[in-house]
Structure 1
Amino acid sequence: MSATVSDPYDQIPGAPADDDVEDRPEADKKALLNQVFRSLKRAQDLFYHDYAQPPPMPEENDNLIRSIKRTHEYGNVIKKVEEAKKAKENEMLALPTSAPSLGAGSVIAAAGTTLAITDGTGKLMNQQTSAQKGKLLPLVPLGGNSKAEDNTTRSLLPSKAPMMMKPKWHAPWELYRVISGHTGWVRAVDVEPQNQWFATGGADRIIKIWDLASGSLKLSLTGHISSVRAVKISPRHPFLFSGGEDKQVKCWDLEYNKVIRHYHGHLSAIQALSVHPSLDVLVTCARDSTARVWDMRTKAQVHCFAGHTNTVADVVCQSVDPQVITASHDATVRMWDLATGRSMCTLTHHKKSVRALTIHPRLNMFASASPDNIKQWKLPKGEFMQNLSGHNAIINTLSTNDDGVVVSGADNGSLCFWDWRSGFCFQKIQTKPQPGSIESEAGIYASCFDKTGLRFITAEADKTVKMYKPDDSATEESHPIVWRPEIVKKKTY
């Protein structure tokens, strides 16, 4: 006969005999039970047949863990999807709840029921045609499972706006003048506010003044002992500012054509400089990872913008906040508060070094250029707007005119002309090196528009300055926009 088990403790294999347990106090019994269970658990873990798989878990526990994880990681997304579904349902409920009059014997739908007029087979009928015929058509409530009803629902819902904006037409640009005169790479260019002449600086350590109309050389300024990397003409003073790889920032008096001030402080080569449009302030940036603000007249350093971790490649100024924007080889763009000298915002969207910036003349926006993309930003908070994709090269310069034409120039000699609003590249030009130069010297280092926006000047590695203008004879019919959004979408996504 089999013995009946009165105590569940007897079912545990390896447990001590009853007479041993009975003599022990209650606390010892519990401690012994826990010890035995732990020992069994270790044995099960040790001799479990498959170490890769954990012990089986009940299905309810598994579902609970999954739901908690889903809510924790994707709770915001799930919430937005549910809100979008509710909004769609409300849109459908907001559709006209009664069918229009269809002549004699027409039927009016009950309140709260969305109806569509069909021909009996599920196809949507034109209400005007049916009213002309004077025939009564059956009314089928929406929300069923048939495909015809789904198509009806889609046709009644408002269509979404197109994702891509159609670009504005711009006349194609063409090369009309090549100016030779420098004996080294031309690294900087700027146009005078009266639009009568422009200045260039090069690796030959010389700043040259050229007549804008004829392209003839007017003046050469010598004083730098290394390559001139930046040239800017003040819009409110008869001053020209220059910076070079000799760490010097010079202020030239254009009435006497002499250097009247030096701004000492940078520890490495000057990369770019910018003149504030409304204050007597000059901002320079250099390879020492800083941008410095100078009082134009006293030569005193007002601020040192330290925050970038690599060469600061470009700087631009404007009258509204943020008044100073810098771009660096550390792949960031920083916006600075000129009053406190601190960084207001850091834009980290770029993946590679940012070498060029441009501010739109009329819109409160700016663009930054990197080998990965040209990105547009909205000021003052630096909100990302869109990418200008397609110029796959190291972009050294960006320029924008009043008409919304953005030009990017690259190390390989390519120029891309973009429409600002749509981000569409409407023209590409490959510059030709000067005879006697090798093909690898086709780089574009600097560029700018003149004050009318109808002349575009580039400073290039073949020691020349090239000038471009829009084709006056071109029309929208003779040079149509080759705009194929479906192809662009396939390439992008």
Structure 2
Amino acid sequence: FFSPTFMSKRKEEALRNVVARTMKRSRDLFINSHGLRAEVYEPARKVHVDIKTRIEYGMLEDIQEHQPLLAMAGTQVSKNKLITGPEAPALLALPAPQTTGSSSNGALTVGATKPDAAKLPSKSSSLQVLPVPASMLAAQQRARHKEPQWHAPWKLMKVISGHTGWVRTICVDHTNEWFATAGDDRVIKIWDLASSQLKLTLTGHISAVKGLAISKTSPYLFSVAEDKMVKCWDLETNQCIRHYHGHLSGVYSVALHPQLDILFSGGRDGTVRAWDMRTKGQIHCMAGHNHTVHTIATQAAKPQVISGSQDSTIRLWDLVKGASVKTLTNHKKGVRSIVCHPTEYTFVSASADNIKKWKCPDGDFMHNFRGHETIVHCLAINDDGVLVSGGDNGSIRLWDWETGHLFQDMDTIAQPGSLEAESAVFAATFDHSGTRLLTGEADKTIKIWREDPDATPETHPTRYNPDMVPKRY
């Protein structure tokens, strides 16, 4: 009865009707209320003001002794009177349970026959909430947004070639004279930091090398790889002198305690193992993660060990007990990098969903670094407050540490002979002066970056929008 053309037109018309209804419902739900302030629930607001006042002024015993503080808040206080009205923009009028004066015409008079006659309200007393001027609220809102510190933009200074596989890890010696790199080509290379010349090549691993750590107290270099091995290299003899046996699968991360002779390693078996550097004995096998441990960070203060795993969790460990004291579950994707700030009591973690800043010792969440929309493999911080993140798509983002402001974004370019997709940044670290940034990438190169010496706040101003502040979610 109906031709195929007629039926197809009927289907298209029905589909357009469904889409139109869906768009109308979405507009009714969201667009009409866009920009409108949410309705304030009055009982909850009164409870909030009551609690806030009790916390702020609960220690005050005599209002007359604190007249300067009340005057700064915009309240006119006479000797025995707290006046509110159209001529005095007071925020709160605190009724006293015992008064000898009277209240009329919007004014509250507190009589005081004795020095302690005027007291703050008790817990059961209520507060008279008066309208707050919009200008004062705007000033308070601006005060919360701290402007970021100006940082000079960074630019590429040098490209170093020599590896035949992806460069997975970089570590700088504490003397700031040389650095070590390793990757999928199973070799460890040591380079002169000033001239970028190759000084030494160490071979011994039979699989991709995932992590390096250099001791500050002895001439030792530690390496971990997917061959389940944790090796200690003596840089005076250029030989492997110790093996640490215990991991049941590939080892992906390594770190050294800043004060003790303890080595930490984490791998695909989901454990963080603590080793005695000299005796090769295992001190702790700290289990708790359900997936690969990608990163380990250590510090002298508690928590001394912090680990991030592919199971999307961060664990804070008690080194004495060898047990987890807290698990952070804010991330929704695997945690691939954790770095502690060199001077502050904070640390930062990176995942595919976000970069998050935490406060020690309890791991209290502070804020996000938003803007790096990819899998973040590595992080680095210097003393000047510059945070660097390297992504899987070759992107590098630079942030102001204090405010979380993204002040520069740049993309690496794969070197000739490499695929266009081989631009991932797997490793990043600053030298100990904080003036040079070293990155290890999938194009088999090491790149050295530095600040632009000709940049000034006038030529490169900070593009800061106070509305785009880090959010707590």
Q: TM tier, shorter chain? A: 0.7 to 0.9
3-state SS in 2 of match to 1:169:
coil
Change (3 A) 1:110 1:450: closer
Q: Show the counterpart of 1:375.
A: 356
**What's the CA shift string for 1:418-438, capped at 9, x where partnerless?**
111000111011000011111
**What is the CA RMSD across the aligned residues, in angstroms?**
3.0
Q: 8 Å contact 1:92–1:114 — kept in the other structure?
A: no
Change (3 A) 1:442 1:110: same
- Rounded to whole Å, the distance in 2 between the matches of 1:349 and 1:255 is 44
Task: Specify the structure having the higher radius of gyration (Cα).
Answer: 1
Q: Show the counterpart of 2:205.
A: 224
Report the AA paired with residue 435 of structure 1: P
- Rounded to whole Å, the distance in 2 between the matches of 1:441 and 1:362 is 35
3-state SS in 1 of match to 2:415:
coil
Q: 8 Å contact 2:188–2:202 — kept in the other structure?
A: yes
- Rounded to whole Å, the distance in 1 between the matches of 2:137 and 2:387 is 38
Q: 8 Å contact 1:207–1:220 — kept in the other structure?
A: yes
Which consecutive unaligned segments of at least 5 residues does structure 1 have?
1-73, 100-108, 123-139, 144-149
Q: Show the counterpart of 2:338.
A: 357
Which consecutive unaligned segments of at least 5 residues does structure 2 have?
1-41, 58-62, 64-68, 90-104, 109-129
Larger helix percent: 1
Q: Does 1:345 align with 2:313?
A: no
Trace 1:307-346 onto structure 2 (pairs within 5 A): 307-346=288-327
Q: Show the counterpart of 2:119.
A: none
Out of 397, 416, 434, the position equivalent to 1:416 is 397
Report the AA paired with residue 411 of structure 1: D
3-state SS in 2 of match to 1:225:
coil
Out of 153, 157, 160, the position equivalent to 2:140 is 160
Q: Show the counterpart of 1:252.
A: 233
Q: Does 1:199 align with 2:203?
A: no
Out of 51, 58, 83, the position equivalent to 2:51 is 83
3-state SS in 1 of match to 2:190:
strand
Report the AA paired with residue 395 of structure 2: S
Q: 8 Å contact 1:97–1:110 — kept in the other structure?
A: no
Change (3 A) 1:189 1:152: closer
Report the AA paired with residue 112 of structure 1: L
Change (3 A) 1:77 1:183: farther
Q: Show the counterpart of 1:449.
A: 430
Q: Show the counterpart of 2:367.
A: 386
Q: Show the counterpart of 1:464.
A: 445
Out of 445, 455, 463, the position equivalent to 1:482 is 463
3-state SS in 2 of match to 1:485:
coil
3-state SS in 1 of match to 2:163:
coil
Out of 158, 163, 175, the position equivalent to 1:177 is 158
Q: Show the counterpart of 1:289.
A: 270
Cα distance, 1:155 vs. partner?
5.3
**What's the CA shift string for 1:334-366, capped at 9, x where partnerless?**
010111101111111111111000110000110
Cα distance, 1:80 vs. partner?
3.0
Higher mean C-alpha displacement, 469-478 vs 150-159: 150-159
- Rounded to whole Å, the distance in 2 between the matches of 1:245 and 1:468 is 29
Cα distance, 1:447 vs. partner?
1.1
- Rounded to whole Å, the distance in 2 between the matches of 1:279 and 1:492 is 36
Q: 8 Å contact 1:272–1:315 — kept in the other structure?
A: yes
- Rounded to whole Å, the distance in 1 between the matches of 2:312 and 2:132 is 50
Cα distance, 1:377 vs. partner?
0.7
**What's the CA shift string for 1:212-236, capped at 9, x where partnerless?**
0111111110000111111111111
3-state SS in 2 of match to 1:83:
helix
Q: 8 Å contact 1:97–1:115 — kept in the other structure?
A: no
- Rounded to whole Å, the distance in 1 between the matches of 2:56 and 2:255 is 51
- Rounded to whole Å, the distance in 2 between the matches of 1:156 and 1:397 is 42
Cα distance, 1:96 vs. partner?
3.6
Change (3 A) 1:156 1:327: closer
Q: Show the counterpart of 2:76.
A: 97
- Rounded to whole Å, the distance in 1 between the matches of 2:470 and 2:283 is 50
- Rounded to whole Å, the distance in 1 between the matches of 2:54 and 2:300 is 46
The TM-score with structure 1 as length reference comes to: 0.72
- Rounded to whole Å, the distance in 1 between the matches of 2:364 and 2:470 is 26
- Rounded to whole Å, the distance in 2 between the matches of 1:449 and 1:309 is 31
Change (3 A) 1:161 1:434: same
Q: Show the counterpart of 1:265.
A: 246
The TM-score with structure 2 as length reference comes to: 0.75
Q: Show the counterpart of 2:122.
A: none
Higher mean C-alpha displacement, 85-94 vs 435-444: 85-94
- Rounded to whole Å, the distance in 2 between the matches of 1:305 and 1:152 is 54
- Rounded to whole Å, the distance in 1 between the matches of 2:263 and 2:326 is 21
3-state SS in 2 of match to 1:380:
coil
- Rounded to whole Å, the distance in 2 between the matches of 1:142 and 1:396 is 63
Q: 8 Å contact 1:116–1:152 — kept in the other structure?
A: no
Change (3 A) 1:141 1:382: same
Change (3 A) 1:347 1:98: closer
